[in-house]
Chains A and B, each alone.
Chain A
Amino acid sequence: MGKNVMKFQNVWFRYGEDLPWVLQDVSFEISASEWVAVIGHNGSGKSTIAKLMNGLLFPQKGNILINGLEVNEETIWDVRKQVGMVFQNPDNQFVGTTVRDDVAFGLENRGIPREEMIRRLKSSLAAVRMEDYELQEPHRLSGGQKQRVAIAGVLAVSPQIIILDEATAMLDPNGRKEIMQTVKTVKERDDVSLVTITHDLNEVTLADRVLVMNEGKVWMEAPPKNVFAKRDELKEIGLDIPFVTKLAAELTDRNIFLKTEPLNHDELLEELWRFHLNR
């Protein structure tokens, strides 16, 4: 992995002086073009992390660096150029009266000249495959389509880091697939770093690295395989593990030892086939 684009250094945060700490001494780094998934049950501090990442909130203690630049009142507008964010509710982040107006919103805010704006608008709508909907009004779009427009809006300002804060939580299964497909394409196209905050275990398996949050602390930081290997401990902190991992564990109990921790059907089948041949 390349150099780090984001760094949390001993970050503490709470919403009020007499309220409990939501984040306690959180430190981690994210590298260029890395995909990091943040998981944890509701109230574990995940969404607070997202808001700290682009200066919607500021820590009481500790530092957050984006490309070496400290996030504070003076730097937030520069930070927000580099960190794009997609939120949970598809309706409540759609500002424009049409798709093209919404994608342009971020560009307008940054004073991009009109010709450039139109060029970027077209290319980012194409990247999320929404180019045929340019003049569509938001209430005629599905949740998944609205979220794709939100991603296009973020892409248009070409940030280095994109955060998806439970962006698929309110979508149906097809909408989720649409978004994950879009995110994969976009990541390849623009070579951005991705932070996905999610409950969806299938999304987690796609990430390079997982940050597990529990009660405001980083509970674990490892690739998905290693995280899911800790199934009992995960259960204790209220997190689930994928079907494949559960099944693999049961198989291990029955003396079928797998070389690596499988994350999907193909990997598990491959392992089983290998065991079958070597029996």
Chain B
Amino acid sequence: MEISFKQVSYTYQPNTPFEHRAINDLSMDISSGSFTAIIGHTGSGKSTLIQHLNGLLRPSSGKVNIGSYQLHAEAKLKGIKELRSKVGIVFQYPEHQLFEETVFKDIAFGPSNFGVDREEVGGRVDQALQAVQLPEELLDRSPFELSGGQMRRVAIAGVLAVQPELLVLDEPTAGLDPKGQKEMMNMFHQLHKQKGLTTILVTHSMEDALAYADHVIILNKGEKYLEGKPEDVFTRQQDLQKVQLDVPEVIQFITNVKDRFQVDLSYHGQTIKELAEELAAIVKGENRYE
């Protein structure tokens, strides 16, 4: 699903003393099938931005195109339900939205709302459950008896069962332990590749953005601050520091080595093993730049 924002601004509670402009003159393009990471501090406009993707908010000015749908200030979108069936949003702590008596019913809730027939819903629930790597035995259990990690997976399955073309993830690993975080991100990466989704990941983790995204957008105070390929954006250390964002640890470390050893070492997507190889050459004095 192709997405474009053209000079989009959004103001909360306009014409009141509480007026607050959350997004300002933002333009960006996200190509179909890409994995985009959106990064910024709390209050940088990230959550306002993602609410434009399925029409929960309409821009105060400017235009948002999502596939063949357009949102703008002048009029409500007629096919909003259709749009929402194509855009799945996994909100922060998605397990807080569970409410049905059984896991099956909760996962089936979305597809049923969007008018999928009953026979098909069953199949979709099974698929979604598989996608989030949960066993079938859970289907008849109450979602509230499950562990925190399982509950989150059920909630995510509920979004996947609608079979969206665009999947928006708002800090999907918050509150999980490191192992759980890694499993969760790997799961989304797999889904992204298998189903040919367009994925947007809102995150604070530079490491995740570097590991999974092919496109990074950095927001600051409601405006687009930097945009590009992860290896290009994250090597602009000074620009990132200006807005108090860290660079991923690998890149930070490479910069430190460069300064200390005065060698020409750069980040080009190497793994830890490859980096160790390069470092070994440097400290053993095999580096040709010395």
Q: Do chains A and B touch in the complex (CB under 8 A)?
A: yes
Interface residues of A (CB under 8 A from B): 41-43, 142-143, 169-170, 172-175, 199, 201, 238-240, 243-244, 246-247, 250-251, 253-256, 265, 268-269, 272-273, 275-276, 279
List 7 additional A-B contacts (Cβ < 8 Å) besides A255-B280, A275-B283.
Answer: A240-B178, A240-B182, A243-B249, A250-B275, A251-B280, A256-B283, A256-B284
Whether B177 is near chain A, meaning CB under 8 Å from some CB there, is yes
- CB B228 to nearest CB in A, in angstroms, measures 21
- Chain A residue nearest to B273 (CB atoms) is A250
Partner of A240, one of B42, B147, B179, B246: B179
**B interface with A by C-beta (< 8 Å):** 41-42, 147-149, 174-180, 182, 204, 244, 246, 249-250, 252-253, 256-257, 260-261, 272-273, 275-277, 279-280, 282-285
A-B contact count (CB 8 A): 85
Query: What residues on A are CB-neighbors of B282 within 8 Å?
Result: 276
Q: Which of B147, B272, B280 contacts A256 (CB 8 A)?
A: B280
Q: Are B277 and A170 in contact (CB under 8 A)?
A: no
- Evaluate contact between A42 and B275: CB separation under 8 angstroms: no
Across the interface, do A276 and B261 meet the contact criterion of CB distance under 8 Å? Answer: yes
Indicate which residue in A42, A170, A254 contacts B280 across the interface (CB closer than 8 Å): A254
CA–CA, A166 and B244, complex, Å = 24
Contact assessment for A251 and B279 in the assembled complex, using a CB-CB cutoff below 8 Å: yes
* Nearest A residue (CB) for B246: A173
Distance from B260 Cβ to chain A, minimum over Cβ atoms (Å): 5
27 A-B contacts, Cβ less than 8 Å apart? A41-B179, A41-B180, A42-B147, A42-B148, A42-B180, A172-B41, A172-B204, A173-B204, A174-B42, A175-B42, A239-B179, A240-B178, A240-B179, A243-B250, A244-B253, A247-B253, A247-B272, A250-B272, A254-B280, A268-B253, A272-B257, A272-B260, A276-B282, A276-B283, A276-B285, A279-B284, A279-B285
Contact A250 B276 (CB under 8 A): yes
Which B-chain residue is minimally distant from A46 (CB atoms)?
Answer: B177
Given A246-B272, A250-B272, A199 and B283 touching (CB < 8 A)? no
Contact B283 A170 (CB under 8 A): no
B285 near A253 (CB under 8 angstroms)?
no
When C-beta atoms are compared, the residue in chain A nearest to B260 turns out to be A269
Please report the C-alpha to C-alpha distance between residue A143 and residue B204 in the assembled complex, in whole angstroms: 14
Q: Which residue of A lies closest to B279 (CB)?
A: A251
Which of B182, B277, B280 has its CB near the most chain A CB atoms (within 10 A)?
A: B280
Closest to B274 in A: A250
Cα(A254)–Cα(B148), bound, Å: 41
Q: How far is the CA of A41 from the CA of B183 in the complex (A)?
A: 13
CB atoms of A41 and B272 under 8 A apart: no
* A170 to B250 alpha-carbon distance, docked (Å): 24
CA distance A251 to B274 in the complex (A): 10
Q: Are B279 and A42 in contact (CB under 8 A)?
A: no
In angstroms, how far is the closest chain B Cβ from the Cβ of A18?
16
Query: Which A-chain residue is minimally distant from B277 (CB atoms)?
Result: A254
How far does the Cβ of B286 sit from chain A's closest Cβ, in whole Å? 10
Task: Give, as a whole number of angstroms, the nearest-CB distance from A20 to chain B.
Answer: 14
B283 touches A238 (CB 8 A): no
Closest to A143 in B: B42
Closest to A243 in B: B249
In the bound complex, what is the Cα–Cα distance between A10 and B111 (angstroms)?
A: 52
- Name which residue of chain A comes closest to B180, CB basis: A42
CA distance A187 to B74 in the complex (A): 57
Tell me, in angstroms, the Cα distance from A102 to B59 when the chains sit together: 39
Instruction: For B174, give its contact among A170, A243, A251 (CB under 8 Å).
Output: A170
Q: Is the CB of B179 within 8 A of A238?
A: yes
Closest Cβ of chain B: how far from A241's Cβ, in Å? Answer: 10
Q: A243–B253 contact, CB under 8 A? A: yes
CB-CB under 8 A from A244, the residues of chain B are 253
- Cα-based distance from A97 to B180 in the complex (angstroms): 36
Q: Are A170 and B175 in contact (CB under 8 A)?
A: yes
